[in-house]
Amino acid sequence: MPSWKRPDSVPHPKVWRRAVGRKPVDGKVPSFVIQDVPEDREEELVDFMEEHFMHNEPLCKCLNINSDSPSVKDKRGLWEEMLAQRIAVVAFLEDDGPRPRIAGANMLGVVTRAEKSVKHEHQGAVIKKIINLLDYLDSLADPFKKYGVEEYITAMGLSVAKEFQGQGLGKELLKARFDVGRAVGVKLTVTAFIAIESQVLATREGFEQLARIDYKDYKVDGKEVFPGITSKCAILMAKRIE
């Protein structure tokens, strides 16, 4: 995804929205600032995603990606590539000093029609299985043709720290994607939603289903690739950004 560039007319880092939580944490209802990722926090954010996303996302958890160091390295590399496009968003705990804690993030990037067919070379066995599933899901629909666009925003992980879950922060991070899209001129977002909770959230926010794979039906050499996964299916979903 390296060819797309954020317009110079859109300042970086920019605050996209603020959100107030739903319940106290340490005796106080938290508030959050959702913004672009500052350059000096990028490596820390990748560490955050490794700690929180890789341990909890159904595909990663099912195949225990953390035990496969080449896959962890590959995944970090994909996140670093996305950060280079400068549209990923991070939620910081507000009023938390000069270097506020990361409460959550949504790793965003832009896919263009010209680059859609470009494949990454991965070393890890686990990441290859995950990417193969996502590539197959992508092959079942053509968002460029359906929506008449040349590019769209995609995501490679939305995660909220355990201590801030249940605060509505995931919803605000998802909605910030539309703020970004409107500002940079990208009119569509398309994402594979893996967990049941994220699929419900996306549906509530107006995403429509493009394609679906039930994990029990996805097999290689006659064997399920994700046996015992806690989610039922992967759904490719899209929404116009207006």
Whether 212 is covered by a domain: the verdict is yes
Give the tens place of pLDDT for each residue, 222-232: 999 999 999 99
Nearest to 194 by CA among 54, 64, 59, 48: 59
Q: What is the pLDDT of residues 159-216, one digit of tens each?
A: 999 999 999 999 999 999 999 999 999 999 999 999 999 999 999 999 999 999 999 9
Would residue 26 count as lying in a domain?
yes
Output the six-digit token pair for 86: 């400068």
CA pair distance 100, 116, nearest whole angstrom: 36
- Give, to the nearest 10 degrees, the angle between helix 169-184 and helix 196-204: 50
Which residues lie closer than 8 Å to 59 by C-beta, 6 or more apart?
Answer: 65, 130, 133, 194, 226, 229
pLDDT for res 1: 47
- With a cut of 80, say whether residue 5 has pLDDT above it: yes
Lowest mean pLDDT among 102-106, 120-124, 140-144, 162-166: 120-124
**Which residues constitute the domain of residue 89?**
15-240
- b/e map of 91-121 (b: 16 or more CB within 10 Å)? bbbeeeeeebebbbbbbbbbbeeeeeeeeee
Look up residue 25 and give its amino acid.
Answer: V
Nearest residue to 111 (alpha-carbon basis) of 37, 33, 189, 165? 189
CATH of the domain at 35: 3.40.630.30
Residue 7 lies in a domain: no
55 in a domain, yes or no? yes
> Does some domain include residue 74?
yes
Q: Is residue 8 part of a domain?
A: no
Q: Measured at the alpha carbon of residue 53, what is the angle toward residues 48 and 59, in degrees to the nearest 5?
A: 155
| Phi-psi region at 191: left, alpha or beta (left = phi > 0; alpha = psi -120 to 50) | beta
The H helix count followed by the E strand count for the chain is: 7, 10
Query: Does the residue 2 lie in any domain?
Result: no
Report pLDDT digits (tens) over 23-53.
999 899 999 999 999 999 999 999 999 999 9
Total structural domains within the chain: 1
Name which of 60, 49, 124, 126 is nearest 82 in CA terms. Answer: 49
Count of C-beta atoms within a 10 Å radius of residue 42: 17
- Chain centroid to Cα 228, Å, comes to 23
pLDDT > 90: what percent of the chain?
Answer: 95
DSSP code of 34? E
The predicted pLDDT at position 2 comes to 57
5 within a domain of the structure (yes/no)? no
For the entire predicted model, the pTM comes to 0.95
Query: Is-contact 90 177, C-beta < 8 A?
Result: no
